[in-house]
Structure 1
Amino acid sequence: MPHSDQPTRTWSSMIYDHEIDELRHMEVICVGAGISGILTGIRLPQQIQNLELTIYEKNPEVGGTWYENTYPGVRCDIPSPGYQLTFESNSQWSEFYASGAEIQNYMVNLAKRYDVYRFCKFRRVVTAAKWLDGIGKWEVTCQNLETGESETDRCDVLMMGTGLLNKWDWPQIPGLDTFKGPKVHSARWDQSIELEDRDVALIGAGSTGIQILPAIQPIAKRVDHYMKGKNWISPVGIGGDELDRRNATEGNFKHAPEELDRFKDPKEYLKFRHRIENDIMKAPLAAFYGTEEQKQFHVMSKRFMEEKLANRADILNALMPDWTPGCRRLTPGPGYLEACCQPNVDYVSTPIKRIHEDSIETVDGQIRKVDVIICATGFDVSHQTGPKITGQRGQDLHKLWDPIPEAYMSTCPPCMPNMFIYFGPNGGPMTGSTILMLEWVCDFAIAAIQKLQREYIKSLVVKPEANQDFSRHVDKFFAKTVFTQPCNSWFKRGTKDGRVVANWPGSGVHSRKALLNPRWEDFDYELMPEIEGNRLGWLGNGMTVAQRDGTWATDYLDLKQYINRPKPVHPEVSVESPRSPKS
């Protein structure tokens, strides 16, 4: 009997008549079919029952940035063993730092192997997403690039896998549109452009320009390389310890056929992958300002550039920064400094004044004739691009993110229920592989979706105070790192002294520990109508689906359920041993 001063409640009417494991239908939309979308198309069907998944992609094929970027010299700056999914190893990478074409082939094969294509709708650009407060769903609008028509769809959960490196534009240089010869942006490379025996202008020396120059220098008649800022050119990329072990002085190496044959043994390749990824995971120590690792890396980087440019003090003075290595993303530059020193390369650090029909003029009055212009000028990383997203109570995500983009645990923006972002604000690895971090975000989203299903929750959204606390932690953390040194960096939205918004506050394995243990108390919840008024209504009628259907209800005995089976302290003692005599 209830206590006399408590209100009487008719609990029988508040019990939802369903089995506890009868999970509600979930509609999920993922925007983008790069590695994030591919991962979504593999993991969600595997781990979420009663699922309807749709992946919208603007291109005609999967792959994302690796589908779009086909410029000469494009490759990953992470060792190939670490730039792949944990559960799907490619033991046959031909090079230690894989080419873009080889990575794109890996992406396509992943999509084929797990039939991710069955979820994909290609040639669709998502233009808007709006949260419908009363219904508790997202309404997604996209443009069909084949027909030009607008299409709408709805979902319970919205996953954004568009990434950061996809919104490119021409640099704002007067006269660029008047140039009569071929011009191309690195993010939309035109394979028909002829560079042999041509005078080529390469504008930009970020991570892309650094890769393009060594690839085109041997074939071009002349290259004018325009560089307006300073940059550290790293002797090796992240995980470069293996280069030292093999004395690979060119900054990369091809795997010998006999080694690739040995790697066909999964155990052998796993050992190799452990070694390389452990090298990658040691890298964060050099990111903390003032540590011995950071100081040693600074000395090594300075010595490397001085040795490579010993006969070109003009380039060294124009290129070497006065800020610490790592403030901007480190890019290995195999062959770059050597290419800068070749007689057919003119390194131009003087700013461009104007582009004419057949030439480029710098502010010092010099005019250089040119046949082809290559713009390696990067992407818009402001977090202000992409579809218009409207959340709770009409909140505009772009306005919420101006001037500072924020997302709890890098993936849950404020006022955006049931929304998860891959590579959101502070969603990139401080050092290491982006792909691994995307896996942890996917696991986090899966856990949240399973909670929505299991407990009949209509929506979850991060609490404002939890979001603020995460942002405060991020700022406090990065204050002790090289990332806050005074340099213009896309880590800080292209500013010199801005807030670090690109990187996770810790190592890649640190993010895994955080994302695999969600703090559900940091979210606000709205329940489904079926259990409204009784937060435990999801317990249901006391039965399971197997009991209802008369099928086997003893799946708990299946050894596959015991992934974390305990290891005996005394394995010599058997539970089948005869009864011990009483002492």
Structure 2
Amino acid sequence: MTSPRIVIIGAGFGGLGAAIELLQHGFTDVTVLEKAADLGGVWRDNTYPNAACDVPSSLYSWSFAPNPGWARRYSGQADILAYIDQVAGRFGLRERIRTGVEVTAATYDEARATWQLDLGTGETLEADFLISAVGQLSRPVVPRIPGAETFAGPAFHSAEWDHSVDLAGKRVVVLGTGASAIQFVPGIQPVAGRVTVFQRSAPYVVPKPDRGYTRAHHRAFARLPRTQAWGRTLTWFASEQLNKSLTGTNPMKSVLEKAWRLHLRRQVRDPELRAKLRPDYPIGCKRLLFSNDWYPALAADNVEVVTSDAVEILPDGVRDADGTVHEADVIIYGTGFAATEFLAPMTITGVGGLDLAKAWADGARAYFGISVPGFPNLGIVYGPNTNLGGSSIINMMESQAGFVRQLVQAVHVSGGSIDVRPETEERFDAEIQERLAASVWGGCTSWYRDEAGRVTTNWPGTVTEYKTRTAQVDLDDFVVTRPAG
């Protein structure tokens, strides 16, 4: 029997990891479609100053491809992108990736048990199994503020950084104080003339135990791989304690809160500014951030923190809710991503003409974030309820890749289709939502929730639990159908 035709949408960590998993298990007809001009996902797109990962590289990397050459404990964007490219080359993925190709629609053909893909190029493509790996943080969000079109200067999102804009001596307004802003604001503060930061809610920021690796480190990692593996295991253990603290009573949460208080007190002497930077929600409700230079940047003489909402954009600045106009030459949006709009803007049509957007009208949901009833032969990597409040998402993606590969194997054997049973997904979703309600995310507002208030992004447990529960597909949870005749 020939290998099924497998199409993967997205050439970031998730899509490439799934491709490697399939190739390593003998599936050779694998095509990766990438709408951008190159691979890399978020690490291709986010090139703002100081862009880096907030998870140590020993853990934020594929388990099957350790890199003894990391420059530092927490790697920057360029090093991570180079790592992705190097691993893709090592596993022969380059010739399987079609760049500059956007999937606009995917329709399931029940009679033939195949997916018909409409591409932005105008062509169509057929697949026996479809894998979406577009991620949760791939579509930047720019808030609709009245007058935005009238602004006379450059304005851009941090994930679409305009490197042609010289910020030296300029008045810069930054909207947002999330994971991207805490990196690029310290990067632009020393060169900008004035930086005005609009803060809707203060983040919890704790010290980042970063350091550059020495030659001795690199020699040890290369000659004694167990030294790097030990670091990965130690980081894994610590991150799992953080995951437990967010969904239970693990004491690490209180330790981190004490670390935040001390960090803020030491780095911000001005009591008025310090009061502005105190979050008004429980620690962990929104993503915990790591930085050694965020607070010092905000305390600099050329930086102002505004806690009043931005209500209007003028040709020469931004008006806040108090009526004050903050003059600006440049506006930078650090306003995050459409994390809860999974698979959008693609139109996905399943059995009986079922539209995925309508199926998810009350919130995105999937069995282990991977399988959706009524959408056979479809697997999702980094889907609903698979994000983490702590730890490395790559570990979750590797588990998902293994699960999807088993679904592909079932399709390969049957020559037909595999679809998760509705009652299986419903039981799973009920469990997940009950656990989320009891977690730190259950009673607060964050980007983890959709507009209806449902937490659709996060996994309410540890990575270890997810890995264990997805290690072996139970075919009793699925309907496997052979083609007629």
Note the 1:100-249 alignment, pairs <5 A: 100-144=77-121, 150-236=122-208, 243=209
Could you tell me which of 63, 74, 97 is aligned with 2:40? 63
User: Is 1:95 aligned with 2:69?
Assistant: no
CA shift for structure 1 position 430? 4.5
User: Is 1:316 aligned with 2:274?
Assistant: yes
Q: Which residue of 2 aligns with 1:540?
A: none
The CA deviation string for residues 546-578 of structure 1, in whole angstroms up to 9 with x for no partner, is xxxxxxxxxxxxxxxxxxxxxxxxxxxxxxxxx
Q: Larger C-alpha radius of gyration, 1 or 2? A: 1
Mark the runs of 5 or more structure 2 residues left unpaired by the alignment.
none
Q: Which residue of 2 aligns with 1:543?
A: none
- Of residues 425-434 and 370-379 in structure 1, the stretch that sits farther from structure 2 once superposed is 425-434
Could you tell me which of 502, 505, 511 is aligned with 2:457? 502
Whole-angstrom distance in 1 between the partners of 2:254 and 2:197: 31
Structure 2 letter corresponding to 1:354: E
Mark the runs of 5 or more structure 1 residues left unpaired by the alignment.
1-22, 145-149, 237-242, 244-251, 531-583
User: Is 1:269 aligned with 2:228?
Assistant: yes
Q: Which residue of 2 aligns with 1:47?
A: 25
Instruction: Kindly indicate whether the alpha-carbon contact (under 8 Å) linking 1:457 and 1:525 is maintained by their aligned counterparts in 2.
Output: no
CA shift for structure 1 position 24? 4.2
Instruction: Kindly indicate whether the alpha-carbon contact (under 8 Å) linking 1:410 and 1:504 is maintained by their aligned counterparts in 2.
Output: no
Q: TM-score, normalised by structure 2?
A: 0.95
CA shift for structure 1 position 356? 1.4
Whole-angstrom distance in 2 between the partners of 1:267 and 1:475: 39
SS at the partner of 2:58?
Answer: helix
Whole-angstrom distance in 2 between the partners of 1:285 and 1:268: 26
Instruction: Kindly indicate whether the alpha-carbon contact (under 8 Å) linking 1:41 and 1:119 is maintained by their aligned counterparts in 2.
Output: no
Could you tell me which of 489, 492, 495 is aligned with 2:446? 489
Q: Which residue of 2 aligns with 1:523?
A: 478
Structure 1 letter corresponding to 2:116: E
SS at the partner of 2:425?
Answer: helix
Note the 1:344-423 alignment, pairs <5 A: 344-383=302-341, 385-423=344-382
Q: Which residue of 2 aligns with 1:341?
A: 299
User: Is 1:327 aligned with 2:285?
Assistant: yes
Note the 1:403-552 alignment, pairs <5 A: 403-454=362-413, 456-486=414-444, 488-493=445-450, 498-529=453-484
Q: Which residue of 2 aligns with 1:31?
A: 9
Q: Which residue of 1 aligns with 2:257?
A: 298
CA shift for structure 1 position 392? 0.7
CA shift for structure 1 position 169? 3.6
CA shift for structure 1 position 457? 4.3
Whole-angstrom distance in 2 between the partners of 1:529 and 1:78: 49
Instruction: Kindly indicate whether the alpha-carbon contact (under 8 Å) linking 1:458 and 1:528 is maintained by their aligned counterparts in 2.
Output: yes
Could you tell me which of 268, 280, 298 is aligned with 2:239? 280
**Residue identity (%):** 28
Moved over 6 A (4+): none
The CA deviation string for residues 335-364 of structure 1, in whole angstroms up to 9 with x for no partner, is 101111111101111112321112222222
- Of residues 273-282 and 394-403 in structure 1, the stretch that sits farther from structure 2 once superposed is 273-282
Instruction: Kindly indicate whether the alpha-carbon contact (under 8 Å) linking 2:15 and 2:381 is maintained by their aligned counterparts in 1.
Output: no
Structure 1 letter corresponding to 2:392: S
In the comparison of the two structures, how many residue pairs are matched? 483
Instruction: Go from structure 1 to structure 2 and tell me whether the alpha carbon gap of 1:413 and 1:457 turns closer, same or farther (over 3 Å shift).
Output: same
RMSD of the TM alignment (CA)?
Answer: 1.7
CA shift for structure 1 position 290? 4.4
Instruction: Go from structure 1 to structure 2 and tell me whether the alpha carbon gap of 1:317 and 1:403 turns closer, same or farther (over 3 Å shift).
Output: farther
SS at the partner of 2:428?
Answer: helix
